[in-house]
Structure 1
Amino acid sequence: MPACSPPSSPDTARRQWLASAIAVPGLGLVGCATPAAPVPPVGDNAAWGQPWHMPGVRYMDLPAPALPGRPMPRQHRVMVYVPQGPAPAAGWPVVYVLDGNLMFPLLAQLVHNRGARGPELRSPGAIVVGLGHALPPGSAEVHDRAARTYDYTLPYDGVAPDSQGRAQGGADQFLDWMAQQLQPRLQAAWPLAPQRQTLVGHSYGGLFTLHALFTRTALFQRYVAASPSLWWGNGTVLEEATQFLRRHQAGASALPSELQVYLSQGGEELAGRREPGRAPNPEREASARQAQTRAQQHGLATVADLSQALDRLPRVRSHYQVWPGANHGGTQLYACLQAARVGLDWDDAAR
């Protein structure tokens, strides 16, 4: 058999690779067969190679306050992706993503991919910080649900544990930890751009993201909230939204910087289709009914209404997106795709 010669151009190589991948998915290039690797014995995990680690990623577990009613210690898990190469002159933009145990690997890989392209397609990089929780060794869970519920839900008078006994109302404590402990630690390690900070959250994380926007506006300049749980606490966050709108309408109170807000929901979610296997939640449904009444009183009956109201404020641009075919959980992926764009492209004024 003649030796395989290299193609005459990169375009030719790309077309040949695509053709062979479609025609013979299990083989290499047509005519360039390689000896088949021996099949590892069943149960021989070591034969499948080494654990895979993403370039530029590290993590650290930092002490967190004990949950109310649960005195055992717990830890915030902070995952950090740092691009290769020197930082920009103004410092690295930073994208903070909540539910980091789940969403950080998606977002960090997307950001890494954009910076690892060829020179003609490569985009500026950003540091990605995943905000998660340390899980017990060997745990098969994605989240520490009790910690997530407490850290991402809002304080208000009379807040009580939810129907599953999980404490609620720790969002301000978590924001204090981010501002007073996490951000200074990051700034000491890498040159950061203080006016290029993005916060990303989904569901309860989206609720937390909006709470940060309305109450700690100077901490971030871009906010990505996918399927935010506006229903939580009978719509408490809508009261915060109303106060925020009143403060900043017609420039009555100046915002610390120009803001970009990205709100989104899934098409299946809007149609009211429950995810397969998800049981009804009477507590949530009762809270949602009360939240809807409160929302209508303020003219914020939907997430789209909230986006439109924010977009009318001076120095705020708000964007609303419906992701076709996505249910509540499915909007996580879209939030990561969106955040990989808006957290990087700070010089693209046309968005």
Structure 2
Amino acid sequence: MGQGMILPGTSVYKVSAERSGREYVINVFVPDIAPPPSGYPVIYLLDANAVLGTMVEAMRVQSVRSDKTGVVPAVIVGIGYEAKQPFPPERYYDFMMQVPEADLPRRPDGASWPAYGGAEAFMHFIEDQLKPEVEEKYSIDRSRQSIVGHSLGGLFVLQMLLGNPGTFRHYIAGSPSIHWNSTWIEQQRASWVSRAENCGTEMQVLIAAGEQEGSHPSGVVGRSRELAHWLGQTGLEGFSAEFTCFEDEGHISVLPILMSRAIRFASRGYG
């Protein structure tokens, strides 16, 4: 990710997580305009190996005419890995909580999944280390922070929302792998409303999937729609949740349109 890839307005550096020692490649895009008095909005993007370029180009093109597109210029912080493949195995460890192996879906070839279970440490890395570093280097509006993830990254976004409400203002979860951690998600519902009320932060949630995913045995479309509906019915002040199904898109083809929708969703209430 950090080798040989140059995008306009971006800088790249490597960072080692203080708690876990895991290495990440961080790409930061900064708009080509001065920050507003409150600082730039910021979007934390998971799976930067796969979608950083897509989101950066969407931001560069659409934020030129915010009045027409609804997209305001924002800093993008892409969290990726040294590996060259778009979806390296390290993501399983960072995005997944520790769950019984028997609860995981079976791989088509019957092999074991890569190491997983480091989601809590990854949450601490983002909150306690990465955010402060970004806020020290750039002018950031801490009240306008968003996180975007797809598939297992979408699951991680939901885990952040349900486990640590208020850490972001906008949560965008595309094709979230809810079936990987459905028991924990159900458990969180019982106490989530009271915990979300106490965080005192406005939150907006977008859960999305591709229409072609409707036939997948994971039930991603149905699970995503149901969770978004439940969240939307909680009645919390300053909170909203919605579900979008992108017509004629599959699990991977949905990525470009998801990134485009994400930057517009992250601009809500700003500008």
Could you say which TM-score interval applies, normalised by the shorter chain?
Answer: 0.7 to 0.9
Structure 1 unaligned spans of 5+ = 1-50, 68-72, 273-284, 293-300
Q: Secondary structure at the match of 1:223?
A: strand
Q: Which residue of 2 is the match for residue 342 of structure 1?
A: 265
- After superposition, what is the alpha-carbon deviation per residue over 1:273-315, rounded to whole angstroms, capped at 9, x for unaligned? xxxxxxxxxxxx6xx5xxx8xxxxxxxx622111111112213
1:63 aligns with 2:16: yes
Query: How far has the Cα of 1:107 moved from its partner?
Result: 0.7
Q: Matched residues in 2 for 1:142 and 1:120: separation?
A: 32
Q: Secondary structure at the match of 1:142?
A: coil
Q: Secondary structure at the match of 1:340?
A: helix
Q: Matched residues in 2 for 1:65 and 1:194: separation?
A: 22
Q: Which residue of 2 is the match for residue 152 of structure 1?
A: 95
Query: How far has the Cα of 1:243 moved from its partner?
Result: 3.5
1:131 aligns with 2:131: no
Q: Which residue of 1 is the match for residue 213 of structure 2?
A: 269
Work out which of the two has the higher radius of gyration on C-alpha atoms and give 1 or 2: 1
Q: Within 5 A, what are the aligned runs for 1:160-199?
A: 163-199=111-147
Q: Matched residues in 1 for 2:170 and 2:26: separation?
A: 20
Query: How far has the Cα of 1:207 moved from its partner?
Result: 0.3
Query: How far has the Cα of 1:205 moved from its partner?
Result: 0.3
Q: 1:116 to 1:244 in 2, by over 3 A?
A: same
Q: Which residue of 2 is the match for residue 34 of structure 1?
A: none
* Amino acid corresponding to residue 217 of structure 1 in structure 2: P
Q: 1:200 to 1:65 in 2, by over 3 A?
A: same
Q: Within 5 A, what are the aligned runs for 1:10-89?
A: 53-64=6-17, 74-89=22-37
8 A contact 2:70–2:264 mirrored in 1: no
One of 40, 43, 55 as aligned partner of 1:107:
55
* Amino acid corresponding to residue 82 of structure 2 in structure 1: A
Q: Which residue of 2 is the match for residue 7 of structure 1?
A: none
1:304 aligns with 2:225: yes
One of 326, 332, 347 as aligned partner of 2:255:
332
Structure 2 unaligned spans of 5+ = 105-110
Q: TM-score, normalised by structure 2?
A: 0.85
Identity of aligned residues (%): 24
* Amino acid corresponding to residue 95 of structure 2 in structure 1: Y
Q: TM-score, normalised by structure 1?
A: 0.67
Structure of higher RCO (CA pairs closer than 8 Å, 6+ residues apart): 2
Q: 1:338 to 1:241 in 2, by over 3 A?
A: farther
